[in-house]
Structure 1
Amino acid sequence: MLAVGAAALVLPLAAGAAPTAFAAPVSAPVLRAPAGGYEELMVPSKMGPVKVQVQWARHGGTAALYLLDGLRARDDRNAWSFETNALEQFANDNVTLVMPVGGQSSWYADWTSASNTNGQKTTYKWETFLTEELPAFLEGYGVSRTNNAALGLSMSGPAALRLAALHRDQFKHASSLSGPLNWNAPGMREAIRVMMLDAGRFNVDSMAAPWSPAWLRMDPMVFAPELRGLPMYISAASGLPGQHDRPAGLGGAYNTANAMGIEVISMVSTRAFQSRLNTLGINAVYDFPSNGTHSWKYWEDQLWKARPHILNALGA
């Protein structure tokens, strides 16, 4: 089942169209706290300039929500900005939406080396970017370094939890939607290998050696104790088709079947993670819908459910 799920994750469920051209983005802080509106920033990093889509807090507030992308993250736009109505959901809220662009198959981690299976030129250093370089840049716009939330889906679900667990001074809330949260499960590392090879031909061994400290540091089951006291929203659906599944033709049926399989795996691993947190006496808000597959419209629904918890934690 893990192999089927791995193949499913790499299908273009989380966006796969070719990149499109954009106007030249903003590239320098203006030392102000904008009230509402949308901008695209180019943020310096060890990986080179990284595009970040931003919807500023409606009333110029300092809180921010980092919306992380899926396994097939594109180089032109963060899928939250076009696969969902995330911008509309938070349009009147006093929280800035921060949507980093890129990071396909990265797991938003600091890799040990550049991938040696696809000619990657630069080593991924996404955790450093999201916890050091980007917050420092956004501080120039009046965004707080210490009043943020992280939310991820699928690949970025465990990443959102990890960023918050290991950088508690920065994040006050974390959400995982349909994330693979049990990396101890038999075959999970090889399933991740298959996913990454298909999504950009990235090598999981370049990210972290098997069972190395770097690998264990990314495993939600391992860093779970660090989540104590952190408000969290965690969800995964049953995998049964629901209101957003309307497959057309054989291609649509195939995609839906894959989305069903991977959501089942997400649900099983999320349930295992729930048990782990319960054993540790750590609380979280959970939602396990009776219907729903591994696809964007269900994550849009979950974002809406997570929204009041996020705003409450941020005081926004």
Structure 2
Amino acid sequence: MLKRAVLVSMAIVLPLGASVAGPVGTANAAFDPNFGFDFWVDSEMGPIKSRVFRAADGNTNRVVYALDGMRARDDLNGWEIETNVARALTAWNINVVMPVGGQSSFYLDWNAPSNFFGIDGASSTGSAGSSAVGSSAAGDNVAGKRNTYKWETFLTQHLPRELNNRLGFRSTRNGVFGLSMGGSAALALAGYYPQQFSFAGSYSGFLNTSAPGMREALRVAMISAGGFNIDSMAPPWGPQWLRMDPFVFAPQLRDNNTRLWIASGSAVPGGGDVNSALGIVQAVPLEALALANTRAFQVRMDSIGARNVHYDYPPTGVHNWRNWEDQVNRMLPDLSANIG
């Protein structure tokens, strides 16, 4: 039944050419340069910016990473552009780190720079910063095309080391959460780096990426979101591809006893979810696909006796920032109790 739901959802999504991880909805927050600050760290990809927001009480022990979606921009993280979660988190005395960039990366270490048969797959006139639904081709001068994405290394080595050295931030028992692409990435980071991450949250995540048809669905999404080639990320059905699938590494999440918050909307629009017919057509099937993936992951975790997960399925909600911001607020007490 779950596989059928996945395939039906993809049949709706793929003709649209919409990104499987492209957030739908309007901004409900304004960038405030006086609140967070830029934090640059060198990496194999070049200098990478994060935005840091300090806990209200000034502590350095409680830290959470907020991961973006597939259309991550190169100027600001979507969580800062579209939501007010940084203020909510810092009021709970949690330091917030928002990495910037990584469009279509899944926050992984890729095999090679993204190209199609040796040719860059995007027009140099495309905007890497576009968050609109539809194609947003990134030029060949961006990270991931001019060089190889190394996001996993950055998030688990370079960034925490510099946060510790320069700000005194604790680099163990951190939290991490993300939406869509960032949701599966958050679970992967927690699964493979349990000392660093004691808590992980996934909202509308694609948590069964090895299910039939999912690789091709993600292929279409990554072409739409920046013109990136999934084959440059990981070969099909090899160890590297399976390593990124939460459904596959679920036993590690159980054995680590990582506290997890797993959420997906029902794909039924609620009040204020969408403001156009196009938004409904795109946001509903995307969330239906995420819901099928998330339910499959829950079945998998239940089958192996995992008891370290909270599942949250609101009666309404589609693929948009309004619902992801609501999930952060719902998750806050659980996050606060399981980090630091």
Same fold (TM over 0.5): yes
Amino acid at match of 1:297: R
Shift of 1:72: 0.2
Amino acid at match of 1:192: L
Aligned mates of 1:288, 1:127 — CA distance in 2: 29
Q: How does 1:208-247 map to 2 (within 5 A)?
A: 208-228=234-254, 229-247=257-275
Contact 2:24 2:283 in 1 (8 A): no
The unaligned stretches of length 5 or more in structure 1 are: 24-35
Match for residue 96 of structure 1? 95
Root mean square deviation, CA, Å: 2.1
The unaligned stretches of length 5 or more in structure 2 are: 1-8, 122-139
SS at match of 2:157: helix
The range that moved more, 64-73 or 6-15, is 6-15
Contact 2:65 2:98 in 1 (8 A): yes
Aligned mates of 2:78, 2:292 — CA distance in 1: 25
Match for residue 325 of structure 2? 300
Aligned mates of 2:179, 2:241 — CA distance in 1: 20
1:134 aligns with 2:162: no
Aligned pairs, number? 296
Shift of 1:77: 0.3
Pick aligned residue for 1:43 from 41, 44, 65: 41
Shift of 1:12: 5.6
Contact 2:25 2:273 in 1 (8 A): no
Contact 1:14 1:79 in 2 (8 A): no
Contact 2:24 2:282 in 1 (8 A): no
Aligned mates of 1:168, 1:290 — CA distance in 2: 32
Contact 1:182 1:269 in 2 (8 A): yes
Amino acid at match of 1:5: V
Match for residue 189 of structure 1? 215
Aligned mates of 1:49, 1:197 — CA distance in 2: 25
Aligned mates of 1:51, 1:275 — CA distance in 2: 37
Contact 2:19 2:220 in 1 (8 A): no
Match for residue 3 of structure 2? none
Aligned mates of 1:125, 1:15 — CA distance in 2: 30
Match for residue 151 of structure 1? 177
1:283-302 Cα shifts (integer Å, max 9, x gaps): 20011111110000000000
Q: 1:60 to 1:196 in 2, by over 3 A?
A: same
Pick aligned residue for 1:166 from 192, 204, 210: 192
Contact 1:148 1:173 in 2 (8 A): yes
Identity across the alignment (%): 46
Q: How does 1:255-270 map to 2 (within 5 A)?
A: 255-270=279-294
SS at match of 2:278: helix
Shift of 1:184: 2.4
The range that moved more, 306-315 or 167-176, is 306-315
Match for residue 19 of structure 2? 9
* TM-score, normalised with respect to structure 1: 0.89
Aligned mates of 2:22, 2:299 — CA distance in 1: 31
Q: 1:103 to 1:172 in 2, by over 3 A?
A: same
Contact 2:109 2:151 in 1 (8 A): yes
* TM-score, normalised with respect to structure 2: 0.83
